[in-house]
C-alpha cells in the first residue's frame, strides 16, 4: 500500500507539537485551542513541556485545562486537553534564544508524536515551528522536521509541499546547498516526486491532478542553451510519468509557471526543482495562511509556513492563521472529499 494512500479515521485525535519552547510554538498551540469549542478540545493531543505551556497560558490569560497523560491513559476529564509531557524545563527558561535544551525538548515532542502516529493513536501531526540551530546545539542530526520525520518513520524519501488558497508547490530538493541540489536532480528523483505529488493530491480529493513541472535553468534551459538538466533529467521523468497515466507537463519556465498555476488555474500544483524556486512564490503570497505538508510519510503531517519568530516570542503577537490552516488541512487529509480537478 502506498504510504500516502493509507486511510486514517477522522475520529482519531490530531497531535499538536508545541515546537521550540523559546519561540511562538506554545503560544500558537494555546491560542488555537482557545478558539475551539470546549467539546472539540478533546480532539487534540498536545506534545510539549507542561511547565512552559502553563507559563505561557498564564502570560496569555488563557484557561486551557490539561490532563497530563504519561501513560496514554484513554480516560480524560470533561473539556480537558490531553498533554503528553516531553521535557522538564525550568519555569524561567528564556524566550527568543537558541538553546540546546529547547532544541532537545522540541525533538522529543516530535519523536513521541510520531510514535503515536505510527501506532495509530493519532490521525495526524501538526507541528509548531522548531529552530534548526537549537536542534544542532542539542546534537539532533537533522536539519529540520522533514528529515527527522522521515528517519523516525523509516521512510527513504519524503517531499515538502507548500500550499495556500492560491498555489501549491512540491519540492524535488529541500535543505541542501544549491550546488548540491543541482547534482541531486536526477530523472529518478524527479519522477518519484511527480508520483508522490500525484498520490498526495489524490489523497486530498483531486481525482486527476494537473501537475506542472518547472525547469531548473532560466527559460527551462532554452533547448540546452542555458543548461542541459531539462533535457537530460527532467524531460525523461515527465515522459515516464505520463506513460504511467499522470497528467504531468513541462518542463516549464520557472519565471512564469507559478503565475499560470495561480492566476490562470492551468495547473493544480507546481513541482519545483529547488527549495527557493518553489517557496518564494508561495511565501510571497503571505505567511498568514500558508501550510507546509510532508508527503511520503505513512501518516499525515502539516505545519504552519513560518518559523519560530524569536523576536516576538512571549508577546502575545503571534498570528495563528497559518497554524489553524495547518490543522484544517490535516483534518481534510484524514477524511478528504473527492472532487474534480
Query: If you average pLDDT over residues 94-112, what whole number do you get?
Result: 96
Mean predicted confidence (pLDDT) in 7-13 = 63
Average the pLDDT over each of 40-44, 81-85, 236-240 and give the range with the smallest value: 40-44
Cell of 263: 492566476
Q: What is the pLDDT of residue 4?
A: 33
Q: What is the mean pLDDT of residues 213-235?
A: 95
Say which range, 21-30, 100-109, 292-301, has the weakest mean pLDDT: 292-301
Tens-place pLDDT, residues 299-339? 999 999 889 999 999 999 999 999 999 999 898 887 654 44
What is the per-residue DSSP string for 87-132?
A: ----TTPPSSS--HHHHHHHHHHHHHHHHHHHTTS-SEEEE----H
Structure confidence at residue 164 (pLDDT): 84
Per-residue confidence (pLDDT) for residue 3, from 0 to 100 = 34
DSSP calls for 53-70: HHHHHHHHT----EEE-S
User: In the predicted model, what is the mean pLDDT of residues 73-101?
Assistant: 85
Query: What is the structure's pLDDT at 74?
Result: 55
pLDDT at 339: 45
Comparing 320 with 10, the larger pLDDT belongs to 320
CB under 8 Å to 250, separation ≥6 — which residues?
212, 213, 214, 215, 220, 234, 238, 257, 271
- State the greatest distance between any 2 C-alpha atoms of the chain, in Å, as a whole number: 67
Q: Which residues of 311-341 are buried (b: 16+ CB within 10 A; e: fewer)?
A: ebbbeeebbbebbbbbbebbbbbbeeeeeee
Lowest mean pLDDT among 31-45, 96-110, 111-125: 31-45
| Torsions phi, psi for 98 (to 5 deg) | -75, 115
Q: Note the pLDDT of residue 282.
A: 86
Predicted confidence (pLDDT) at residue 54 exceeds the cutoff of 90: yes
341 against 187, higher pLDDT:
187
CB 170 within 8 A of CB 269: yes
> Minimal CA–CA distance to 236: which of 262, 270, 213?
213
pLDDT of residue 22: 96
Distance between CA atoms of residues 119 and 72, nearest Å: 12
Region 135-157 average pLDDT: 92
Long-range pairs, 71-74, Cβ under 8 A, ≥24: 72/116, 72/121
Estimate to the nearest angstrom the gap between the alpha carbon of 261 and the chain centroid.
21
- 143 φψ region: left (φ > 0), alpha (ψ -120 to 50), beta (else): alpha
- The candidate with the shortest Cα–Cα distance to 38, out of 84, 72, 81, 83, is 81
User: Domains in the chain and their CATH numbers?
Assistant: 1-158+297-341 (3.40.718.10), 165-285 (3.40.718.10)
CA 185 from chain center: how many Å?
22
* Lowest mean pLDDT across 4-8, 52-56, 111-115, 156-160: 4-8
3-state secondary structure of 308: coil
Task: Please say whether the beta carbons of 164 and 293 come within 8 A.
Answer: no
* pLDDT score of 217: 96
- How much of the chain, in percent, has pLDDT values that exceed 70? 91
Backbone angles phi, psi at 245, to 5 degrees: 90, 10
Q: What is the mean pLDDT of residues 1-28?
A: 75
Cβ(291)–Cβ(302) below 8 Å = yes
φ/ψ of residue 295, rounded to 5 = -105, 145
pLDDT of residue 38: 83
**Which of 67-81, 194-208, 253-267 has the lowest average pLDDT?**
67-81
Q: Is the pLDDT of residue 162 over 50?
A: yes
**Per-residue pLDDT tens digits for 167-217:** 999 999 988 899 999 999 999 999 999 999 999 899 888 999 999 999 999
78 pLDDT higher than 70: no
Q: Could you tell me the pTM of the whole model? A: 0.85
Checking if the pLDDT of 341 tops 60, the result is no
Amino acid at each position: 500500500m502506498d504510504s500516502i494512500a493509507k486511510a486514517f479515521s477522522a475520529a482519531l485525535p490530531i497531535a499538536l507539537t508545541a515546537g521550540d519552547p523559546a519561540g511562538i510554538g506554545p503560544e500558537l498551540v494555546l491560542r488555537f485551542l482557545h478558539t475551539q469549542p470546549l467539546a472539540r478540545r478533546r480532539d487534540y493531543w498536545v506534545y510539549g513541556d507542561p511547565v512552559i505551556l502553563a507559563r505561557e497560558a498564564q502570560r496569555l490569560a488563557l484557561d486551557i485545562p490539561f490532563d497530563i497523560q504519561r501513560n496514554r491513559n484513554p480516560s480524560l476529564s470533561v473539556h480537558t486537553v490531553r498533554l503528553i509531557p516531553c521535557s522538564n524545563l525550568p519555569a524561567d527558561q528564556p524566550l527568543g534564544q537558541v538553546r540546546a535544551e529547547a532544541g532537545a525538548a522540541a525533538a522529543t515532542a516530535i519523536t513521541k508524536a510520531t510514535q503515536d502516529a505510527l501506532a495509530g493513536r493519532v490521525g495526524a501531526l501538526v507541528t509548531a515551528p522548531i529552530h534548526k540551530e537549537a536542534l544542532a546545539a542539542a546534537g539532533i542530526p537533522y536539519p529540520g522536521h522533514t528529515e527527522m520525520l522521515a528517519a523516525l518513520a523509516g521512510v527513504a524519501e519524503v517531499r515538502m509541499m507548500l500550499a495556500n488558497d492560491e498555489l501549491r508547490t512540491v519540492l524535488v530538493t529541500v535543505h541542501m546547498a544549491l550546488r548540491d541540489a543541482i547534482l541531486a536532480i536526477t530523472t529518478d528523483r524527479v519522477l518519484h516526486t511527480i508520483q508522490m505529488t500525484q498520490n498526495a493530491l489524490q489523497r486530498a480529493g483531486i481525482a486527476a491532478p494537473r501537475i506542472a513541472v518547472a525547469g531548473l535553468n532560466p527559460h527551462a534551459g532554452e533547448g540546452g542553451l542555458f543548461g542541459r538538466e531539462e533535457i537530460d533529467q527532467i524531460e525523461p521523468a515527465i515522459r515516464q510519468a505520463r506513460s504511467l497515466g499522470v497528467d504531468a507537463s513541462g518542463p516549464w519556465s520557472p519565471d512564469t509557471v507559478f503565475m499560470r498555476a495561480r492566476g490562470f488555474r492551468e495547473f493544480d500544483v507546481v513541482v519545483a526543482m529547488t527549495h527557493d524556486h518553489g517557496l518564494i512564490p508561495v511565501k510571497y503570497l503571505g505567511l498568514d495562511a500558508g501550510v507546509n505538508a510532508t508527503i511520503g510519510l505513512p501518516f499525515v503531517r502539516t505545519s504552519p509556513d513560518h518559523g519560530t519568530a524569536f523576536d516576538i516570542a512571549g508577546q502575545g503577537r503571534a498570528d495563528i492563521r497559518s497554524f489553524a490552516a495547518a490543522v484544517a488541512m490535516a483534518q481534510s487529509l484524514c477524511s478528504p472529499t473527492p472532487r474534480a480537478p
